[in-house]
Structures are given as structure tokens and as C-alpha cells.
């Protein structure tokens, strides 16, 4: 089975992901379990269990009602590993979006550390009450480490995206990061973690596009940087540092801004283009995106149809990561209620 076929198989629920790896014998299974326990102990011993401040509030100044941005997902969306709200991805994206849109942005962070895709249902309930214009979702790592069946995890993500888009909310999903970069994980578990997380990211991309959202590959962007640069990690060597979260926000913001039609048309000029056939069947697009740093995948149409003989069409885009506000600039961008009107 090809990788694109495998990704679609997982995304459509035909496979049970609880195993996902051929078992070579009891000794290998015991080794993998012990490596997982050792990595978990090391990470938990170093992790600051307290989440950073939410950063909820209004960023930027201008006339009119603020754009409502909701952030859903797990600890990567929370920003676990940093201490200042201004270092979290939600605040960085909100401050950057306010600058691009020249309008205030109201951030509502609903993500929870430890969340799995099954927890998105409750988060979406709360999000819909805020009537968001755009939602950013970062989820999947905890499902991989818990060995949640990929089809089950992606099914919950699909439901979340469909509910949000049905309410008129734009959705941008940062796909599962490359867990093979996590230093406390030893071999051979590290190789398996990379395989599992990449399978998750591909399946997520297919599901998100088919549900009407956009995906942005975080694993393929952050993996090489994290593997070679220890400053991208926080002290627990599992969660990103402030620099790591800024790198993630820098590739999410262009897609968020474009979804709201405030991304400058000339911002991506000068980038080496993808091949001319950037519109592809979604499964092929997902397989390519996981290997391309910061690639966005969104629904597309060919000859007026959103579906071809091999499934839905998808457009791949490479965007230039935007310059992000520094944490100090993000803090200064937070507006008082009287400054918005």
C-alpha cells in the first residue's frame, strides 16, 4: 500500500491504529514499553505543570468589532513550556493578525494541556458561543503517545472542523508535530514515534481539507529545526521554547490571515514555487505536505468541481513565514476595552 493510500485508509477509519507496527516479538514490545516509560518519567520530572497565562484579551486598535480568534487543542496550543502569555502561539498570532488586518483581534484560548482529539468536542461547544471568525487548532501529539487509533483521533478532528465551518468560522489546523525529534525518546521508539506522528499528520490533512478547513504542516517545518537546535525546546526537552512557539506561529499566521482575506497579495513573491500542478488529489497533497516545511493545504476546484476521480482536490501553497511580533511587542499590542470602538 502506498503512503498516500495508507494516509487515506487511516483518515477514513478503515484501519485500527492502536498497533500500527508489526510486532517482532515479546522482547521488542517490552523494550518499547520501557523506553516509553523512561521518556515519560524524564519529561514529567522536568515539566512545569502550570500553564502559562491565557493571554485572552483584545490586541491591536482600530474601529469596529474585534475579529474573534479562538485557539483550540493541546499543550502546544496552550504554549506549555513558557511563562509569559506573550510567548504563546495564540497571543503571537492574535497580535500579528491585528497588525495585518488593521483591526483589533479578540483572543479566546480554549486549548487545554493534555487534551486529545476527543476533547475537541467540548472545546468547540465553548468556541461556538464566542462566534469566532477564525479558529486555530493544534492537536494530535497526545493521541500519538497514547496510541489512540488514528481513525478515532482524526474522526474527532473532522467533527470539530465541520462544526466550526458550518457556523461560518474559518479553520486552520497545525498538524501533528514530528515526535521523532524528542530527545528523551530513545531508539527504536524514536523512529516509531516519527512514523506514527507523520501518519497522523497526513491523515489529519486529508480530514481537515475534506471538512472545509486548511492544514499547515508543523512537523515537517519544526522537525529539522528542533533536531538540530536545542534552543527550540523548553527545559523538559518535549515542549517547544519561546523560539519554538514563535516558529510555529510564523507559519500559522499567513494561513490565518489569508483565510480572512487580509494576507498581502505580494507577501509570497520570490519564493521558489511548487510545481505547476499544485492542485492535486487530497491524499497526494497530504503526502507531499508532510515533507514540505510550512506547507498549507486547502480545498480546491478543477473545472468547477471540488472532486475528481481520485477524491477531493486540494491546493498546496508554500508561504513565506512572516516576521512575528516579539513578546514585548505582543504585550504592547494588547488594547484596553476603551481603545476599541
CA–CA distance, 178 with 232 (Å, rounded to integer): 13
In a domain, 18, yes or no: no
In a domain, 309, yes or no: yes
In a domain, 120, yes or no: yes
Of 151, 197, 215, 239, catalytic? 239
Q: What is the CATH number of the domain that holds 164?
A: 3.40.50.1110
Check residues 23 and 330 and name the one with the higher pLDDT. 330
CB atoms near residue 79 (< 10 Å): 35
In a domain, 204, yes or no: yes
Q: Give the per-residue pLDDT at 234.
A: 42
In a domain, 196, yes or no: yes
Residue-wise pLDDT for 53-100, tens only, equals 899 999 998 778 999 999 999 988 999 888 889 999 999 999 999 999
Tell me, yes or no, if 215 is annotated catalytic.
no
Of 51, 54, 75, 113, catalytic? 75
Q: What is the mean pLDDT of the chain?
A: 78
Tell me, yes or no, if 156 is annotated catalytic.
no
CA–CA distance, 263 with 336 (Å, rounded to integer): 25
In a domain, 21, yes or no: no
pLDDT at position 186 over 80: no
The answer to whether the beta carbons of residues 73 and 47 sit under 8 Å apart is: no
pLDDT band at 239 (very low <50, low <70, confident <90, very high): low
Q: Give the per-residue pLDDT at 208.
A: 97
Tell me, yes or no, if 75 is annotated catalytic.
yes
In a domain, 23, yes or no: no
**H helix intervals, the chain:** 3-11, 26-46, 75-78, 89-101, 120-129, 141-145, 150-166, 189-210, 219-228, 242-259, 282-289, 327-333
Of 236, 241, 255, 258, catalytic? 236
Q: Give the per-residue pLDDT at 32.
A: 41
Amino acid at each position: 500500500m502506498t503512503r498516500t493510500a495508507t494516509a487515506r485508509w487511516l483518515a477514513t477509519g478503515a484501519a485500527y491504529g492502536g498497533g500500527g507496527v508489526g510486532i517482532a516479538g515479546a522482547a521488542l514490545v517490552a523494550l518499547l514499553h520501557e523506553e516509553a516509560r523512561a521518556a515519560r518519567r524524564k519529561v514529567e520530572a522536568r515539566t512545569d505543570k502550570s500553564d502559562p497565562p491565557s493571554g485572552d484579551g483584545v490586541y491591536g486598535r482600530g474601529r469596529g468589532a474585534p475579529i474573534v480568534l479562538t485557539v483550540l487543542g493541546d499543550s502546544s496550543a496552550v504554549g506549555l513550556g513558557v511563562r509569559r502569555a506573550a510567548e504563546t502561539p495564540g497571543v503571537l498570532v492574535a497580535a500579528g493578525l491585528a497588525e495585518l488586518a488593521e483591526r483589533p483581534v479578540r483572543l479566546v484560548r480554549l486549548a487545554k494541556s493534555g487534551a486529545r482529539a476527543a476533547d475537541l468536542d467540548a472545546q468547540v461547544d465553548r468556541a461556538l458561543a464566542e462566534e469566532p471568525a477564525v479558529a486555530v487548532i493544534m492537536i494530535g501529539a497526545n493521541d500519538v503517545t497514547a496510541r489512540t487509533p488514528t481513525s478515532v483521533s482524526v474522526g474527532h478532528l473532522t467533527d470539530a472542523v465541520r462544526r466550526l465551518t458550518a457556523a461560518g468560522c474559518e479553520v486552520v489546523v497545525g498538524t501533528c508535530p514530528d515526535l521523532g525529534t524528542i530527545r528523551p525518546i530513545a531508539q527504536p521508539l524514536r523512529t516509531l514515534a516519527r512514523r506514527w506522528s507523520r501518519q497522523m499528520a497526513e491523515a489529519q490533512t486529508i480530514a481537515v481539507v475534506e471538512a472545509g478547513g486548511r492544514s499547515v504542516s508543523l512537523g515537517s517545518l519544526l522537525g529539522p529545526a528542533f533536531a538540530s537546535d536545542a534552543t527550540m525546546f523548553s527545559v523538559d526537552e518535549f515542549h517547544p521554547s519561546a523560539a519554538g512557539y514563535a516558529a510555529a506561529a510564523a507559519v500559522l499566521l499567513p494561513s490565518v490571515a489569508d483565510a480572512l482575506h487580509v494576507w498581502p497579495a505580494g507577501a509570497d513573491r520570490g519564493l521558489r514555487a511548487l510545481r505547476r500542478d499544485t492542485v492535486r488529489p487530497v491524499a497526494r497533497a497530504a503526502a507531499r505536505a508532510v515533507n514540505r516545511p510550512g506547507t498549507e493545504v486547502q480545498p480546491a476546484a478543477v473545472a468547477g468541481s471540488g472532486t475528481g476521480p481520485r477524491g477531493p482536490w486540494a491546493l498546496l501553497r508554500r508561504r513565506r513565514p512572516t516576521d512575528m511580533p516579539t513578546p514585548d511587542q505582543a504585550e504592547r499590542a494588547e488594547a484596553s476595552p476603551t481603545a476599541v470602538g
